[in-house]
Structure 1
Amino acid sequence: MSNNVLKNLKPYEVFKYFEEITQIPRGSGNEKGISDYLVAFAKEHNLEVIQDEALNVIIKKPGTAGYEGAPTIVLQGHMDMVNEKNQGTEHDFDKDPLKLRVEGDMLYATGTTLGADNGIAMAYAMALLASKDIAHPPVEALMTTDEEAGMSGAMALNPEHINGRILINIDSEEEGKLLVSCAGGVRVSVTLPIKWEDIKEDKTPIVIRLRGLKGGHSGMEIHKGRGNSNKIMGRILYDLQDRVSYNLCSLNGGAKNNAIPREADAVLLVNKEDVEGLKAVASSWNEVLKNELKASDPDVNVQVEVLPDRYNKMFSKETTKKAVQLLYLIPSGIQTMSMEIAGLVQSSTNLGVVTTSKDMITYDSATRSSVKTLKEDLVNQFKLLAEVVGVECETRADYPDWQYDADSKIRRVFERVYKEMTGNDPEIVAIHAGVECGLFKEKFGEMDMISFGPNLYDVHTPDEHISISSTERMWNYLIAVLKEIK
């Protein structure tokens, strides 16, 4: 199966299994091959194995001599990878193995994602499970499916299959940083039915386009203060209401609710005598925005153009008013900051997508919080706003948070061992995005958890690579931590 490209790398067993893993296609939704491979590995080594209907795999190994009574450790990662390739790269992710190459201290796949996120977790777990000379407590290696596309594997996991109550997640990407908390999230949709009116007099269509914003991940980059095109459009349209009479025809902005929107378009109909006034007011926002966003989005610009198209229908005045009210009032951006972890966004919401369809305008937001009650409070704000305006509000894709545990025993072990090995203290971090630990915390209740990993770069892109030396250091770190758990 392996091409032995990595045969001279250390730790040998880790890279041996990692190379085998890279020869098996395993994009999200296509995990049958890798799941069966893990089952075959377990049977080859006479280890207890469970493969569930979601293709999650759990491999169990007793503790070594002297560790029989130690607490069981759950080593956790995910099987699937993100399939991305460079334009012009000939590669079929459904059947082709990855083409590995080593450049100095870095390991790449040629023209495609490497899948070290999260193949390295499987390789670490397999090397430990196959070992005969590494001291360790009882181990349950848990490898889940579909993490990258929705965490459905973790959601489907039967908690009765797991006995351990200490979980080490190996899905972090920076050596020396210990992940101890993540945000939960929920998608919130507010929908406004459109009342259309026939156009009975000559109206001029004008489009306002918002461009030049940087955008970014609505969790990981929400703290950077970047402009949200939908919210900015709400400000512009609200300002126009007091200056020019207009009706909206369409309102659209953003592409994904978990991304800070970069662009927005609004089509308005105005009387001919109001065209120049509307253009002047809308254009004046260029100066306002370039001042407000000069550090985060210096290229922001508002474009105003008279359209050649003719329209037969427009939103009623009532619909136009409500559309602008919602755009202006729906909360978006940072809501609270953590007082326990410096610099951590505790709760936020992002008005990511606004779309106009035949019958309604939909406002889609991604709401996140590392504290469950704050997430619930934000959802209540949406529901109350919808009630006041007289529209519908629905939630979906609700996933739980992983709240920081000041008394975590496994964190203290990781901190102590890292200090002993390096002379330095590890950095304790939290992320304002979801990871599987949040689901496990909800599913298992009392579960002491931590996440760590070697240095990975440019994950989810064809330039993804992993540090070979960091992989070895973090392997030795894991072994040293396990030795301490008795």
Structure 2
Amino acid sequence: VLEHLRPREVWNIFENIISNTPRGSKKEEKIRAKIKKWIKEKSEKLGIEVEINEDLAGNICIKMPPSQGSEARNPILLQVHMDMVWETDREGGYDFDRSGIPLRIQDNGEWVDAIGTTLGADDGIGIALLLAIFSEQKSIRHGPLELLFTVDEETGLTGAFNLDADKLNITSNNLINVDSEDFGVITIGSAGGGSTEFIKKIEKKGNQDDSHDFKCMEIIVEGLQGGHSGVDIHLPRANANQLMAQILYTISENVEIFLSKWNGGNKHNAITRKSVAKFSFRNKKEIVKQIEDIFNAEKLQIMEYYKMDKHELEPNLNISNIIRDIESYVDRNESKEIIETVFLLPQGPLTYSPVIEDLVETSNNLAVIETTDTEIRIVNSSRSNINSELSTFRKKLKVLGNRFNWKVNLLPSYPGWKPEKETNPLVQYVKRTYEEYADKPIKMEAIHAGLETSIIGDKIEGINMVSIGPTIENPHTPNERVNIESVVKFYAVLKRIIQDFQL
């Protein structure tokens, strides 16, 4: 599909090595094996010896020897992550474990995306860029290079948390992370984050014998744009779990309902696109009508906000209900506790930075609600560029959860990366080099998303860090796409950074 795109080696690797290999988070075994095999075969063809190191986490570091005459240069550490987010809006789902990503070039000829799934350019295009550097190294005059491929960035940053710099034999004091998503921007700071889990044991009752006394309604909120819960959290996009909570709370305020199931979202770092809930209620004509009236009123209110304006915020939003067969359910008080908890949980930006214009400082994503026969689980993914603010907000979540009788687990957090653009020589060098190639002003910014740099920086004392990359839009959603021209320009920038590096 991509064979005519340039730089040819980058796109060839992206299509035939990266996109054809399943690499979901915590499922990187195949891509790890593919990268190591490819490196060994390419090394033999090039007639060079390379060092391939692995740590217990599964991270890989490839040590590339310098070009002749460049042995005295300091090494550069180039870093990407191997995993991707698996999301689809295909009606029948998609078997990511057994199928490659269905790539295509959009009709406008400017973007590459996937048909009905996430593309995995985050961070597959980064992997392809590093492997292309390795493949074409004889045409690039360079000092020692260390290519670091980490695991499980998307669901817990566990590769970075468990990175063993000694075992990987990392010696560089300058890190270039290739996981940013806007050409012409140098990322110099990022948010810290942590997930907070609410768990409630439930005991369901009721069965088909109640079918004459009770009815069951299923409500579906779907068709939302979703997005990355860091870089897209400031956008006026709906969260399906939050909309569902609004509907269920309003119904439960007026009618006695008994919750059976509630499932929405499956990724902590994605804004929820679909939420499905089922509840039972007494089979009386006036109650059925009352619920239908409340549902229709809430639906109209939500649709007016997100769809009726000439600038539709959620153009594909759909809210529907259907009467189902009776299912087992939890009692009324527990149903109210669950619904009220979710209704009170915040979604989106909480505060903005007083220092950096338009930067979300602290946010929360109501990421996951899932129900089994014995428990219901809620996952909040919170972020902040200020570590103390993150800690304070998560304490508030714990108080809220405890008040409604949930078991609250504060899952391990990761630190933020504090911007230091004036004192960081790597930042200044990358900016100067970037400016030679970009046809627009170079920006330096902090982002409201987690990057592995914050954790790696804690592990390698005194390391200088930047994050750069080509332009990717809508990561973590089936609308993800990467800009073709930005890949051309970025590859040229990356090669020049490597070639001229003298720090």
TM-score normalised by structure 1 residue count: 0.78
> Structure 1 residues 343, 128: closer, same or farther in 2, change over 3 A?
farther
The answer to whether residue 127 in structure 2 is matched with residue 119 in structure 1 is yes
Partner residue in 2 for 1:253: 263
Please give the residue correspondences for 1:33-432 in structure 2 after superposition, counting only pairs within 5 Å.
33-39=34-40, 41=42, 44-53=47-56, 54=58, 56-62=60-66, 65=69, 68=72, 71-79=74-82, 117-126=125-134, 129-131=137-139, 134=141, 136-147=142-153, 151-160=157-166, 161-196=169-204, 203-207=213-217, 209-217=219-227, 218-244=229-255, 246-257=256-267, 258-270=270-282, 272=284, 273-294=286-307, 295-297=312-314, 300=317, 302-307=319-324, 309-310=325-326, 314-396=329-411, 398-407=413-422, 408-422=424-438, 424-432=440-448
| Root-mean-square deviation (Å) | 4.5
> Contact conserved, 1:166 with 1:449, CA < 8 A, in 2?
yes
- Listed one character per residue, the Cα deviations across residues 185-222 of structure 1 (whole Å, up to 9, x for unaligned) are 33322122225456999633242524355140233332
Comparing 314-323 with 189-198, greater Cα deviation is found at: 189-198
2: CA distance between counterparts of 1:17 and 1:197? 54
Q: What is the deviation of 1:176? A: 1.6
Q: 182-191 vs 137-146, which deviates more?
A: 137-146
Larger mean CA deviation between 177-186 and 17-26 belongs to 17-26
2: CA distance, partners of 1:83 / 1:241? 34
Contact (CA 8 Å) 2:226, 2:238: kept in 1 or not? no
Give the gaps of 5 or more residues in structure 1: none
Q: 1:60 to 1:392 in 2, by over 3 A?
A: same
- Asked if 2 retains the 8 angstrom alpha-carbon contact of 1:42 and 1:59, the reply is no
Cα drift, residue 166 of structure 1: 1.4
Deviations 1:417-475 (A, max 9, x none): 333445742133444333332331233243321122345678787996663x6545334
Q: Secondary structure at the match of 2:265?
A: coil
Distance 1:215 1:441, change over 3 A: same
Shift of 1:110: 11
Partner of 1:32: 33
Question: In 2 relative to 1, CA 32–369 (structure 1 residues): closer, same or farther, beyond 3 Å?
Answer: same
CA distance in 2, matches of 1:93, 1:356: 24
* SS at 1:46 equivalent: coil
The answer to whether the Cα contact below 8 Å between 1:249 and 1:314 also exists between their aligned partners in 2 is: yes
Per the TM alignment, residue 40 of structure 1 is displaced from its structure 2 partner at its CA by: 5.6
Q: Secondary structure at the match of 1:390?
A: coil
Amino acid of the structure 2 residue aligned with 1:187: S
Distance 1:278 1:143, change over 3 A: closer
- Are the counterparts in 1 of residues 247 and 298 from structure 2 also a CA contact under 8 Å? yes
Cα separation, 1, equivalents of 2:236 and 2:16: 43
Q: Distance in 2 between matches of 1:55 and 1:147?
A: 11
Per the alignment, in what secondary structure is the counterpart of residue 194 of structure 2? strand
**Higher Rg of the two aligned structures:** 1
Q: Is the alpha carbon distance of 1:373 and 1:128 closer, same or farther for their aligned partners in structure 2, counting shifts above 3 Å?
A: farther
Partners of 1:369 and 1:74 lie apart in 2 by 27
Q: What letter is aligned with 1:404? A: P
Instruction: Say if 1:189 and 1:395, in contact at 8 Å, map to a contact too.
Output: yes
The 2-side partners of 1:289 and 1:256 are apart by 23
Shift of residue 255, structure 1, vs aligned partner: 2.9
Structure 2 unaligned blocks of 5 or more: none
Identity of aligned residues (%): 23
Q: 1:301 to 1:413 in 2, by over 3 A?
A: same
> Which amino acid in structure 1 is aligned with residue 187 of structure 2?
L
Q: Residues 206 and 304 of structure 1 are in contact (CA less than 8 Å); yes or no, is this contact kept in structure 2? A: no
- 1:225/1:109 Cα in 2 relative to 1: closer, same or farther (>3 Å)? closer
Contact 1:252–1:353 (Cα < 8 Å) also in 2: no
Q: Deviations over 1:373-430 (max 9, x none)?
A: 3332232122111222222012446444434334333222222233344574213344
> Does structure 2 retain, via aligned residues, the 8 Å contact 1:34–1:79?
no
Q: Is the 8 A contact 1:56 1:153 kept in 2?
A: no
Q: Is the 8 A contact 1:352 1:365 kept in 2?
A: yes
The amino acid of 2:295's aligned partner reads A
Residue 130 to residue 98, structure 1, CA distance change in 2 (3 Å)? farther
Distance 1:209 1:100, change over 3 A: closer
In 2 relative to 1, CA 46–302 (structure 1 residues): closer, same or farther, beyond 3 Å?
Answer: closer
Distance 2:323 2:15 in 1: 58
CA contact (8 A) 2:59 2:163 kept: no
Cα distance change of structure 1 residues 371 and 232 upon mapping to structure 2, 3 Å threshold: same
**1:129-154: per-residue Cα shift (whole Å, max 9, x none)?**
545x62x4543232334556765544
Q: Distance in 2 between the 1:274 and 1:333 partners? A: 34
Between the two proteins, the alignment pairs up a number of residues equal to 472
Supply the distance in 1 between the matched residues of 2:89 and 2:275 (Cα, whole angstroms): 25
Contact 2:421 2:428 in 1 (8 A): no
**Secondary structure in 1 aligned to 2:297?**
helix
Question: Which range moves more in the overlay, 182-191 or 46-55?
Answer: 46-55
Q: How big is each residue's C-alpha offset from its partner over 1:9-35, in whole Å with a ceiling of 9 and x where there is no partner? A: 66x887898798569857432021321
